[in-house]
A and B are shown apart, each in its own frame.
Chain A
């Protein structure tokens, strides 16, 4: 591992302070709709998320994370026009903020969440995910996040890394049927088990994983711009921490060191990505029209155009999702000593 020079460490520190300042400034953009944070007890596991028009995914999302042991949801609703806000306000364990401000200017919602994390997450284990990401890890069906976080804490690990795994249906996503509350893996049972590659980002001590179905389908000509799939969704938060670049990288760098340089396997999870539920095409069109989507390089314009067609991502060599054991066997997540 390259040793960081004092100067590069100092630059990272400055960057972290700058992001904390941005987050602090962005707090004015948030309007409280429902604040139940007084119910948070010490040691509770909290979930932070920014969402927009996620009424389709919300019921299963909440059920999934409740089952994992999340005690309180802190959600920023970025101008939803469907029932998202209504659903959230009906829940006892949700605190809700609303904003109409620009998602893109707020670093894709990260400024808002960094503020909430700083305000409410300090000292808690926190899950920071999008509404289309379902965190699983080895033995998640029998051991909840309380057991997991105690295990991590006992090993001195402040965070858990996860690979974002794109699930997709056979046929165009828009021609599937999905009932809110149902398990999305029934509608989206397929994934790419193959075709991921890693890049070490020494500066942040992280290993980025790229590739997967979206690289295969949309970024063949520009692999460097393919979506990054490694994330840090679970962190024992400290008020001085920030997320940098969505939840792919967190600062300080120690939060990203999930890989083991000595060839060992460390415990990691998978974020099941339910992006390709019905409505993919319309969503991509709407995002593009709003101009709030993530863009990096020219390849992304073509990517959103392609997404708007809701193309079939399936191939005969796609793999059917059967559960965490399969993902461990494939090496997409690992058990470590868990």
Chain B
């Protein structure tokens, strides 16, 4: 018993010839259909080239246009010819000119001989699979499609709209249940001849002639009427991209195709010399009784499709420049922004780096330059610390930094002394984890050795800037994870917020805070605030600070001595 091969060819005749010879050499009868649109000369040349091959013939030619009946008519005529001229054929395998056998043909013959009653055809009801691309699912079968989509898109669309308006609904004849599936099947003589010799064939044909893409539904539907044993999968490996276009395999897919263990793959790029050489001239490889396993390839392609349709979040380039709201994440990874911590604690940056292993930068948006961690002037991959470059496009600076340090947690300090242009972006970014100790900017002022008039002015300015920033963070459209403490609140019980922050950066359990950062000496801070008030400048962001608050803190913890918490 042998396998008959039906080949539908419309281009790349040299490759089709090569593959046809390959099938024939293994003893499979081949019937080839050539698209009627192919010029007569090209067809004649093709015919001549294959004239010496025994058991190979050409069928009547039909005009094949994508999505129309011609493809089915061609398949019918060619299959009939195989069945009639080669009585020993038990299975008929439908292939195209761009198909390539991946395993020795004898393996396929053996495989099918072991399953003499089985039809391999992908066949699923339309309502249950999400395969169709482009919105025409059930309507493929209930509307009429007399206009080819490729050439008469306008008429196609208008006619569909008109039918929808008139609520046209065709009835499926003879109690058929519409099924769809891959065009490439392998059917037994019994099933195929039953379909082709059906007394109702005329009726079914009339119906399917006006169905959209009948080559993916005619056999798939009718096979359910007759088949004894349907394996609803195609023996031909074919992948589709997210637009529903067939994926083309190139030379570099060689190993991938080998590993798939599939019998046949399509579509193959006609110039993929390595693929054709490897699979057609391979001396019979060791017989592997393995099942085809397209799953290996599926996983790789699913990943590629996600990357194609969603892109990599946080990447902004000329290939990916999403409009607002379509970014799937403004930045590539979570990061932390601290405001007031470096002011309140003397060694906050070193401490945080040690406690979390994250990369801790200083004030990235400082007016003079970006303070990268470890005082670097350029970051990974040469991001410059220049303030003018940064401020020219702060959003790009931030997304760039987060993109290029994927895999390493980034933390940086922010404050009212910094360039504020980035703040709306920070607030909108779900990846930003923003912790603020409001009013802590007063600590450096308090410890500085400046004239009080200047201090008062600076304090007023800082308070104004920070207040505006806090308003941004508190706005309803904020997506960042924001925590705000007043300074008074924070120094009341500093360990708890610090623990929360650490847990957020590194959510491993039992990650206990072993060492706290060293708090600045706040003796007299309350008095300092009172002095500001006395001068008419009311600092309110730090919360209620009694005049002697600073001393209270100092009393509880001896100054300049790290303390442990268990």
Contacts and interface: CB of A to CB of B under 8 A. Distances in A.
Whether both chains belong to one complex is answered with yes
Interface of A: 1, 139, 142-144, 146-147, 151, 154-155, 161, 163, 192-200, 206-209, 211, 213, 215-216, 219-224, 230, 258-268, 315-319, 330-337
Nearest to A268: B319
A260 B321 contact: yes
B389 A259 contact: no
Contacts of B401: 194
Contacts of B242: 337
Contact of B321 (A143, A193, A198, A224): A198
B215 to A, nearest CB: 19
B400 interface: yes
B317 A331 contact: yes
A266 B243 CA distance: 13
Contact of A317 (B322, B380, B393): B380
B382 A209 contact: no
A42 to B, nearest CB: 15
Interface string B370-381: 000000111111
Interface residues of B, number: 52
Nearest to B245: A154
Nearest to B251: A142
B381 A319 contact: yes
B323 interface: yes
Given A195-B400, A215-B389, A337-B241, A331 B382 contact: no
Interface string B311-328: 111011111111100111
Interface of B: 241-243, 245, 247-248, 250-252, 269, 271, 304-305, 307-313, 315-323, 326-328, 376-384, 386, 388-389, 392-393, 396-397, 400-401, 403-404
A223 B389 contact: yes
B245 to A, nearest CB: 7
A118 B400 CA distance: 39
B320 A259 contact: yes
A336 B319 contact: yes
B363 to A, nearest CB: 19
A200 B322 CA distance: 11
Contacts of B392: 197, 223-224
B189 to A, nearest CB: 37
14 contacts: A161-B318, A193-B382, A195-B400, A197-B316, A206-B318, A207-B317, A208-B318, A216-B389, A220-B389, A221-B388, A268-B319, A330-B404, A336-B319, A337-B304
A173 to B, nearest CB: 16
B271 A194 contact: no
B535 to A, nearest CB: 39
A94 B320 CA distance: 36
Contacts of B243: 155, 337
A265 B307 contact: yes
A315 B401 CA distance: 17
Determine which residue in A1, A154, A315, A319 has the highest number of CB atoms from chain B within 10 A of its CB, and name it.
Answer: A315
Contacts of A208: 318
Nearest to B372: A317
Given A194-B400, A331-B403, A1 B323 contact: yes
Given A222-B388, A268-B318, A334-B317, 8 more contacts: A193-B381, A209-B318, A220-B388, A264-B309, A264-B311, A265-B308, A332-B317, A337-B241
Contact of A336 (B248, B308, B378): B308
Contacts of B383: 194-195, 317
Given A194-B381, A195-B389, A196-B317, A261 B323 contact: yes
